[in-house]
Structure 1
Amino acid sequence: MDQEGTPPVFSARAETDGDHVRVVVCGEVDMATADTMLQTVLREPAARVTLDLRAVTFFDSAAIHAVVQLSQRYPEALTVLPSRQVRRVLEISGLAGQGWLPPA
């Protein structure tokens, strides 16, 4: 079966601009991929982090744990841009009021 043109199940890529790193994540973030997302952020030296999750289609408890770890590592310097699905998971988890999550 031809899989060409099918979007990846998961990808994470970092873009740096001075002391700011922006990590764009696509696809499913779960226990198999959450650490890769986390390590993609941590491998770049940064004072500010934007985690762009607008193309994320699935987000589980391992993904939540990774975001919480980032919020502890970058207090006051983390911004999470969620997809609709990610925002819903964070709301259900009681994390919607965190400073790193912009209001809907």
Structure 2
Amino acid sequence: MNQGGAAPVFTARAEVDGDHLRVVVSGEVDMATAETMLRTALREPTRRLTLDLRAVTFFDSAAVHAVLQLAERLPGALTVLPSRQVRRVLDISGLGDQDWLDRA
């Protein structure tokens, strides 16, 4: 329940454009929400998936695991657009040089 007009802690929404699925995630991706992010990304069959994490404010090991599952299930078809926090976690995890991670 959203009381006092506070922004939701987590959202994940899917946008389909032909064979391209864009999943826009905001807020905190952690043990409680990573599975929802993963299920949202796998809900629609797709040839290309963009995981837009630019509005993510917290990203833990469960979130990293979910992204790795997507990379494994969609080899060559995944692009991750990270926030500064997400990029930092992926760099610390040794994943900063993955081909699915957008460098921009």
- State TM-score, norm by structure 1: 0.95
- Match of 1:56? 56
C-alpha distance in 1, partners of 2:82/2:94? 15
Identity %: 74
C-alpha distance in 1, partners of 2:30/2:7? 17
Matched AA of 2:71: S
Q: CA offset at residue 63 of structure 1?
A: 0.1
Secondary structure of the 2:71 match is helix
Q: Is 2:12 the counterpart of 1:3?
A: no
Matched AA of 2:56: V
- For residues 26-65 of structure 1, what are the structure 2 equivalents within 5 Å? 26-65=26-65
Secondary structure of the 2:31 match is coil
Aligned residues: 102
C-alpha distance in 2, partners of 1:3/1:89? 31
Matched AA of 1:93: S
Mind listing any 5+ residue stretches in structure 1 that lack a counterpart?
Answer: none
Secondary structure of the 1:27 match is strand
- State TM-score, norm by structure 2: 0.95
Q: Deviations over 1:35-91 (max 9, x none)?
A: 000000101110100000000000000000000000001111100000000000000
Secondary structure of the 2:79 match is strand
Matched AA of 1:13: R
Mind listing any 5+ residue stretches in structure 2 that lack a counterpart?
Answer: none
- Match of 1:73? 73
- Match of 1:102? 102
Secondary structure of the 2:88 match is helix
- Match of 1:21? 21
